[in-house]
Amino acid sequence: MDELGRLLEEIMNEKLVQAVLSNSRDAAYGDKLKLRPVILKDGLWFQSVRYVGKQVFHQNHGAGEACSLIRELLRDKFRQCEITSQEQSVTVLVSKKGKMTIKSRRRVCDAQIDLSHNREKQYILKEGCPVDFLIGLGVQTPDGRIAKNKYDKFRQINRYLEFIEDILDQLPGEGQIHVVDFGCGKSYLTFAMYYYLHVLQGRDIRITGLDLKADVIRRCRELAAQCGYEQLHFQVGDISTYEREREVDMVVSLHACDTATDYALQKAVDWGSKVILAVPCCQHEVNGQIHCESLAPLLRYGIIKERMSALITDAIRAGLLEQQGYETQILEFIDMEHTPKNLLIRAVKKPRHMVKRQTGATLGETMELLGVDPTLARLLNRNNI
């Protein structure tokens, strides 16, 4: 039996958390397939969930059939498989020439996995499984319990990792992945991204975190060294003047204030970054510009004007990114009850003919109607508006 066969036979049991096949070679078959263990009336099964566009297909398999399914799909349909169990995490990569690379890391996790068919949502990082950076940041206690006042942060971190999981197959499958995180702050999510991509997924990753506060950067450097995260770097710097040292595959900007988000997006576009993740914050610019007689009865209320301006700002940003060849989504980051600053712009670089075009009024016409001239439009020189 070959290495993959032995590995699957060892891992296909009740201790499996999930297996995710991605980087599809056959769009008709599906974009992604996830497989997890479930307990049914007649015992342990493995449920596969296949995603084909907006459609989802479920099927249950025995252990042997599940092993065979993964082997067949890696041979014909997918180039990547991420397997996580209570005892180990495994990354399987298949090159264009069919060469298979397998990387495995041991894990220590005492948390019990819920195998019920209709189980509650499972997090990528789990309570009861100690993680070095979470302990260092005070989110977890040394035995893996979540600190009483950090549950919202723990949920936010896991939600963020789900967004990254969704775009894994858009990042290079071979060679080093370079990420720049603008305005990293205390870097909860920067550390989470490094841990997920490097420790759990076994990817060759280099992350540069940038922030204006020297004391914050110093603490981040100390924690990175303490955790042994050799390719996680932090430096003091400004978004607008930062110059890359190498190709950048993903640009992240979380809660960069007002137009700082625009400078981060402009950098990402200019660099041809494959993926952009941005959570905008304090969108004041459009609020000070917006002037539209047709909307005057609504805009006369200050709080309504403020919230509408924030939404309009991010909708314009998403539209501008689409014009630059990105497939763009605006997603809910965390529940509105925790913070109103909860929208994430996720953009993935695509050939321009694959990006959906808007119908009706152009973005430029809408901006003119609203009387707004946002920074990102000026930075991108109004290309194709």
Q: What is the pLDDT of residues 196-242, one digit of tens each?
A: 998 888 889 999 999 999 999 999 999 999 999 999 999 999 888 88
Q: What pLDDT band is residue 339 in, cutting at 50, 70 and 90?
A: very low
Burial of 167 (0-12, 13-18, 19+ CB in 10 A): middle
Q: What is the mean pLDDT of residues 365-382?
A: 91
d(CA 206, CA 197): 10
* Whether the Cβ atoms of residue 330 and residue 343 lie closer than 8 Å to each other: yes
Residue 202 pLDDT: 84
CB 22, CB 92: distance < 8 Å: no
Residues 195, 201, 207, 212, CA torsion sign: negative
* pLDDT tens-place string over residues 347-370: 999 877 676 666 667 899 999 999
User: Is the predicted pLDDT of residue 383 greater than 50, yes or no?
Assistant: no
Q: In what order do the strands lie in the sheet with 177-182?
A: 232-236, 205-211, 177-182, 250-257, 275-281, 343-349, 326-332
pLDDT for 51 equals 87
Q: What is the mean pLDDT of residues 294-309?
A: 93
Per-residue pLDDT tens for 108-141?
A: 665 555 555 554 456 788 888 889 999 999 999 9
Considering only CA atoms, which of 166, 167, 355 is closest in space to residue 250? Answer: 167
Dist CA 126 CA 207 (whole Å): 23
pLDDT at 358: 66
pLDDT of residue 110: 56
User: Full-prediction pTM beyond 0.85?
Assistant: no
- Asked if residues 128 and 144 have their Cβ atoms less than 8 Å apart, the reply is yes
In the three-class reduction of DSSP (H, G, I as helix; E, B as strand; rest coil), residue 107 is classed as coil
Of residues 348 and 107, more confidence is placed in 348
Predicted pLDDT of residue 336: 40
> What pLDDT is stored for residue 335 in this prediction?
44
Give the model's pLDDT for residue 157.
93
Residue 84: predicted pLDDT:
87
